[in-house]
Amino acid sequence: MSLLDLIERADARTLAASAVACLDRCLPLLAGAGAEPLRPLWASCEGGRDWATRLAAVRAELGDAAGDVVGADDPAALVRAVLATAPSDFAAAPLREWADACSLLALRVHGRFDAPDGGALVDEEHVINAARGGEPAAVGPLVAGELERQVRILETLAETSGTAGSGAGLRKALDLSTEGRRVLRAVVSRRARVRG
């Protein structure tokens, strides 16, 4: 099943957790972010308890700067902008739209680090959308790894939705996301050293 199919069939819990996981993996781009700034949102993914309150707290910590970054191409600004669009309602329809945006953002961010100069890949939107739809696409290793991670997280969450193991499913999603964050942090650090 393609990434887009998984997003389309997901319930609110799965959509919220997959979206938070995508943002979680982009945290190495946010200077000054705490060690686990998204932890409050992870805690709300199971059933939406205190979602709106925790979302407001996370936005305050990470800087809700959507009005300042519209049209900006800086990856960190894009992460903040997508966080600013997170729905306060814990419901499948708005969360699906947000999860889709978070998925696309995470893939684009990883694509920037696949590109030698850190810019957008050639025909980036077409290539990423093809890959998300399950079509063969010439993506770099970071995008391929991120795509696989997103699919694994969505599958894990779907398998455990509504079961006694739902908490374990969220924990596995968090572990996969933490692993992805380490990968991106290493790439960001290496690029910073090369640039000097």
pTM for the predicted model, two decimal places = 0.89
Distances (CA, A) of 31 to 17, 52, 55, 79: 23, 24, 19, 12
pLDDT attached to residue 121: 54
Q: What is the CB neighbour count within 10 angstroms for residue 11?
A: 14
For residue 67, the number of C-alpha atoms closer than 13 Å in the C-beta half-sphere is: 0
Domain of 23 in residue numbering reads as 3-195
Q: What is the pLDDT of residues 119-143, one digit of tens each?
A: 555 567 888 888 899 987 788 899 9
Q: What is the pLDDT of residues 42-101, one digit of tens each?
A: 989 999 999 999 999 988 888 744 434 334 467 778 888 899 999 999 999 999 999 999
The pair of three-digit structure tokens given for residue 108, joined into one six-digit string: 């684009």
- As for how many domains the chain has, the answer is 1
| Average pLDDT of the chain, as a whole number | 86
Distance CA 41, CA 52 (A): 9
